[in-house]
Amino acid sequence: MCGIVGVIGAETPDREQRLAVAARTLLHRGPDGDGQYLTDLAGLAHTRLAVIDPIARSDQPMIDPETGSVLVFNGEIYNYRELRTELGSHGHEFRTASDTEVLLVAYRHWGTQCLDHFNGMFAFCIWDTNRRRAFVARDRLGEKPFHLCHHDGSVWFASEVKALLAAGVLEPTLRTEELYRFLAFGDLGHPRFTMFGDCWQLPPAHAATISGAGVIDEWCYWDLEGSAAELADATVHADHVSELWHSAVTMRMRSDVPLGTSLSGGPDSSAVIATVRAHRPDGELHAFTASFPGTEADELAEARRVADAVGATIHPVLLSASDLARGVDPMIRANESPVEAASQFAQYRVMQEAHDAGVVVLLDGQGADEVFGGYDKYAGALIADHALRGRVRDAFAAELAWRSVHGSPILPPVGRYLGRVSSTAHRRRIAALEVRRSRWLSLPYTRANNNVDPVAGDPSQVQRPGHVTDGLMRQDLMRWTLPRLLHYGDRNSMAWSREVRLPYLDHRLIELAVAVPAARKIVDGWTKVDVRRLLRELNLDFVANRRDKKAYMPPQKQWLSDPVIIDRIRESWSRLHREGMLATAAPDDDPLHRWRALAVASWADQFGVSLAEP
């Protein structure tokens, strides 16, 4: 895991200095080494967090001795050992034991089609000296960031916006529609745009070539729909999930530095730590858990039980409103945007604890809900599917099964999903949201942003009758829920020079899961049946049988009413009111509204962004 920054375009007198300044802002991503490469049409810089082959021979930028191509790379190629063997069979030789060299040799052998062979998380740039162009790419789900901007006819890129700002190639201007989208919808997951006006992202699963003249030719190299094959046999599916799961975890355990896990006590992270222990039965195993003492959200007791069951050492991170008051600004700065909830602060502090404990790599359970059907809303959507297909008896049976397991009706109500088959109904629902938003957003601000599309970046928002659930899960995976969680995960971990690895996002598992209809993921009132089956195989039946699902959410309402932070919230709210965004001068009681006001004001202060309309 590392930081990368570069420029493609004609050489300028100050290019080397700008690169050096930009790279210094990324030292938290790579404290173990740094380097630069400069030629007439390209400049590349790298800061290294040494995880695989952590010695000087694997430093970057790395140059291919046969072709002269130069690589800067952020992330991990998990299947590098298998690719090294395959490439070796074609006569290629290796000088290091790193995945960096495997990536470079794979490009030498397969060209841009090397992307089809990678199992990993990555953002990289290869300067092809023979073709005199750059080849850049980002992993399938967008775990690793890749930001771009134009400056003086050149294309600049970096792992973080801070590097582009520090280099003086990007001004801290506001993209007003993205700010509105956050305040109104809580949306931060646009695949291309950022909150900064002149900065954009290479979307997940995309690659591009950049010519020496700065011409960008971009394409999508992986598509969720096209990658999934139909799988009808449920027994074959269950066996295949187990096989791929163990492969995904063991690949992500490859590390030459200390490795541990995040642990909440819920099914997803429990399956991760139990699988790690199954493949590493001896030695210390460290788990890091956020705790909110004295609240219903606290899962420390559940996490301790799991840690005891697998023989892991647990590191509780006890959090309070005072911690939030002290840490909100550095957390927002690390994320380079407002964040949607205080839960991101909890993740930020967990990564700090891992840093203090000397554990560099953490496996995490992110993505299980989106891939295997873990959110309660999917059960409601599934009942809507039955109704829309005329299967009234199946709809009633599913509702009764849910009540039998959970003791209460499904929330949100099933009726919410019935309208998703109609674009007219969907737009009506958005209009109703506009009315509710006007209670805290000012009417002039809402009217001024009337043309902002609430579903931008998601052309699949309207679903076919009877296929609501599968579509909803795909949307959460590729546009709504997961993209912003991956953004937070990268920034919060790299702020403390930690590397987070996500086995549930192995593309082989995703392709398998997408091939299976939702009705086989949510069965008899139980969500995530595949994950529960894995837990039973791992002898964690007490986790598999848990009926409750606790969101990873601190007591946000309580914290945001605490005297240690309420003055800060009033100040933030008043500022946004003066800028014409909020309807009232004093905060209302909605914790989401309070948090969004606080987050936006903090972000604007951290980066010197004017919130006034241009």
- Cis peptide before 293, with omega less than 30 degrees from 0? no
Percent of the chain whose predicted confidence (pLDDT) is above 90: 81
Q: What is the mean pLDDT of residues 408-425?
A: 64
Q: What is the mean pLDDT of residues 190-211?
A: 96
The residue behind tokens 């050992």 is: 81
Mean pLDDT is lowest, of 128-137, 193-202, 425-434, for: 425-434
Confidence of residue 77 (pLDDT cuts 50, 70, 90): very high
Q: What is the largest CA-CA distance in the chain?
A: 74
Confidence of residue 577 (pLDDT cuts 50, 70, 90): very high
**Which pLDDT does position 230 carry in this prediction?**
53
Q: Is 332 in contact with 338 (CB distance < 8 Å)?
A: yes
What is the Cα–Cα distance from 509 to 141, expressed in whole angstroms? 13
The residue behind tokens 């609501």 is: 468
Closest of 76, 73, 2, 139 to residue 483, by C-alpha: 139
**Which pLDDT does position 422 carry in this prediction?**
46
**Which pLDDT does position 461 carry in this prediction?**
47
Confidence of residue 310 (pLDDT cuts 50, 70, 90): very high
pLDDT in tens, 378-414: 999 999 889 888 899 999 999 999 999 998 888 776 7
Q: What is the mean pLDDT of residues 175-198?
A: 93
Mean pLDDT is lowest, of 218-232, 418-432, 474-488, for: 418-432
Q: Between 236 and 291, where is the model more confident?
A: 291
What is the Cα–Cα distance from 521 to 439, expressed in whole angstroms? 39
On the question of pLDDT at 449 being above 50, the answer is yes
What is the Cα–Cα distance from 434 to 422, expressed in whole angstroms? 19
Closest of 286, 98, 125, 296 to residue 202, by C-alpha: 125
**Which pLDDT does position 419 carry in this prediction?**
56
Q: Angle at Cα 220 formed by Cα 10 and Cα 38, nearest 5°?
A: 25
- Cis peptide before 459, with omega less than 30 degrees from 0? no
**Which pLDDT does position 7 carry in this prediction?**
98
Q: Between 475 and 498, where is the model more confident?
A: 498
Q: What is the mean pLDDT of residues 292-319?
A: 96
Residue 255 backbone dihedrals phi, psi, to 5 degrees? -160, 145
On the question of pLDDT at 134 being above 80, the answer is yes
- The crossing angle, in degrees rounded to 10, of helices 80-89 and 99-110 is 40
Mean pLDDT is lowest, of 288-302, 380-394, 484-498, for: 380-394
What is the Cα–Cα distance from 599 to 181, expressed in whole angstroms? 14
Q: What is the mean pLDDT of residues 449-456?
A: 78
**Which pLDDT does position 49 carry in this prediction?**
98
For residue 244, the surrounding DSSP H or E stretch is helix 234-252
On the question of pLDDT at 470 being above 60, the answer is yes
Confidence of residue 435 (pLDDT cuts 50, 70, 90): very low
Model pTM score:
0.95
HEC assignment per residue over 360-397? CEEECCCCHHHHHCCCHHHHHHHHHHHHHCCCHHHHHH
For residue 370, the surrounding DSSP H or E stretch is helix 368-372
Residue 326 backbone dihedrals phi, psi, to 5 degrees? -75, -30
Chain centroid, CA 311 distance in Å:
29
> What's the one-letter identity of residue 279?
H
Q: What is the mean pLDDT of residues 300-307?
A: 97
On the question of pLDDT at 296 being above 90, the answer is no
Q: Angle at Cα 542 formed by Cα 536 and Cα 543, nearest 5°?
A: 75
Residue 560 CB contacts under 8 Å (≥ 6 apart), including other chains: 321, 342, 566, 569, 591, 594, 595, 598
**Which pLDDT does position 33 carry in this prediction?**
96
Confidence of residue 195 (pLDDT cuts 50, 70, 90): very high
How many Å is the Cα radius of gyration of the chain? 24
Q: What count of residues does the chain have?
A: 614
Question: What are 523's strand-pairing partners?
Answer: 526
On the question of pLDDT at 2 being above 50, the answer is yes
Q: Is 158 in contact with 147 (CB distance < 8 Å)?
A: yes
> What's the one-letter identity of residue 555?
P
Q: Between 433 and 403, where is the model more confident?
A: 403
Instruction: Report how far apart, in Å, the C-alpha atoms of 94 and of each of 88, 103, 126 are.
Output: 8, 11, 18
DSSP-derived letter for residue 523 is B
Tokens of residue 539, six digits = 């002898």
What is the Cα–Cα distance from 125 to 116, expressed in whole angstroms? 16
pLDDT in tens, 501-529: 999 999 999 999 988 889 999 999 999 99
Confidence of residue 454 (pLDDT cuts 50, 70, 90): confident
Confidence of residue 458 (pLDDT cuts 50, 70, 90): low
**Which pLDDT does position 425 carry in this prediction?**
47
**Which pLDDT does position 462 carry in this prediction?**
44
**Which pLDDT does position 450 carry in this prediction?**
84
Residue 391 CB contacts under 8 Å (≥ 6 apart), including other chains: none
Q: What is the mean pLDDT of residues 276-293?
A: 97
What is the Cα–Cα distance from 499 to 351, expressed in whole angstroms? 9
How buried is residue 268: exposed, middle or buried, by Cβ count under 10 Å (0-12/13-18/19+)?
Answer: buried
